[in-house]
Amino acid sequence: MDQLKYLKIKRWKEFEEKIEKLKRDFTHLEPRDVCLDCRIFNDKDTKKSLEDYINDYKKNHFRYKYELKFNPEEEWELIFSSQIFLDISKEVANEIFLKLEEVYNNVKGAQIIFTGAGSKNTNLIYYISHIIEEKKINLEIKTTYQPEISIIKGAVLFGFQSNIIRKRKAKYTIGIKTCDEWDDIKYKDKGKKERNELMNRDECTNLFTKFITRNEYFEFDQVISKRLYAVSKNPKIIFYKTLKDDCKYIDEKDENNNLIIEKFGEVTLNIEEGFDMNNRDVQINMIMGGTYVYAIAKYLINGKFIDTTQNFINYKNS
């Protein structure tokens, strides 16, 4: 699928649009068979047919199992039940409800939830409303006639009056790369030892220092501060994010050897002139803006500082 997305961008977009149309057209009242043209998967290199893919599917164990068929007259036309959209909608609706319930329990007097992009999926709204009724929660869902316009209006309003949002919730655990004097006991597991000639000591250089934890609530203009020591005359501040609540190192991996923490930006604080080995205090202030981090780093002895905005995009070295 990744190869198809890359090699056949236009055709993949058309394929996704067909799936979106099927999702919009299905009704929760009675599942029916639907067809999907899958010729994009007709890979001459593998010589596999749609029937082969269906047979592979039948051999696997899934939480939900569906009857898949292909049209004998159109070899690459997949036939399946719209029940799959019903099951997906119910699952997503339940996850959304849990978030709404959290809002309801944490925001005093919350009575109405206005939906944006989700307004187009009437089945999804139906299932969310049904769960709310079952749980006997005094919460009303209101949909918008033009969800795209409402989102734009909301963004503009927020730009003029950021105080209309009282609390936000951190999507990621956010922190920076730091180092510490090497300790064989503390860092022998996965620490990286490097020699710092300026400090005349061995250091563990791949440590992660956290500023905020995923799912933690914070005020929109809340400043999170830490005081650290500069270990060079031009220290780099390197930003990392993770979906884990905590990480010890900036290169931690899961059981499949995939990184669970990601670099998303860096900036250099130039304090070479006036740098004092005996006074190395740097204060870093972070403000979380939802889709970005605004940070100010100040060398406290002489007030030299930088301010930077780092967006939560995939960071790639040039």
pLDDT tops 70 at residue 290: no
Neighbouring C-beta atoms of residue 316, cutoff 10 Å: 6
Same structural domain for residues 151 and 250? no
Would you say residue 226 lies in a domain? yes
Same structural domain for residues 95 and 208? no
* Number of domains making up the chain: 3
Same structural domain for residues 156 and 190? no
**How far apart (Å, rounded) are the C-alpha atoms in residues 86 and 89?**
5
What is the predicted pLDDT for the residue at 179? 94
Same structural domain for residues 60 and 176? no
**CATH number for the domain that contains residue 261:** 2.60.34.10
pTM: 0.60
Q: Which domain holds residue 39?
A: 2-81
Residue that wins the pLDDT comparison between 43 and 193: 193
pLDDT tops 70 at residue 119: no
| DSSP assignments along 106-144, one per residue | HSTT--EEE-SGGGG-HHHHHHHHHHHHHHT---EEE--
Residue that wins the pLDDT comparison between 158 and 97: 97
Residues 302-313 pLDDT 10s: 888 888 888 876
Residues 28-70 pLDDT 10s: 667 889 999 998 888 777 788 899 999 999 998 888 889 999 8
Same structural domain for residues 148 and 173? no
What is the predicted pLDDT for the residue at 313? 66
Residue 117, amino acid: A
Q: Last residue of a domain, which of 164, 198, 218?
A: 164
Same structural domain for residues 233 and 254? yes
Average pLDDT, the chain: 86
Same structural domain for residues 107 and 201? no
> What is the gyration radius of the CA atoms in the chain, in angstroms?
26
Same structural domain for residues 306 and 203? yes
Would you say residue 32 lies in a domain? yes
Same structural domain for residues 178 and 307? yes
Residues 214-265 pLDDT 10s: 988 888 778 999 999 988 888 899 999 999 999 999 999 988 888 999 999 9
Same structural domain for residues 191 and 300? yes
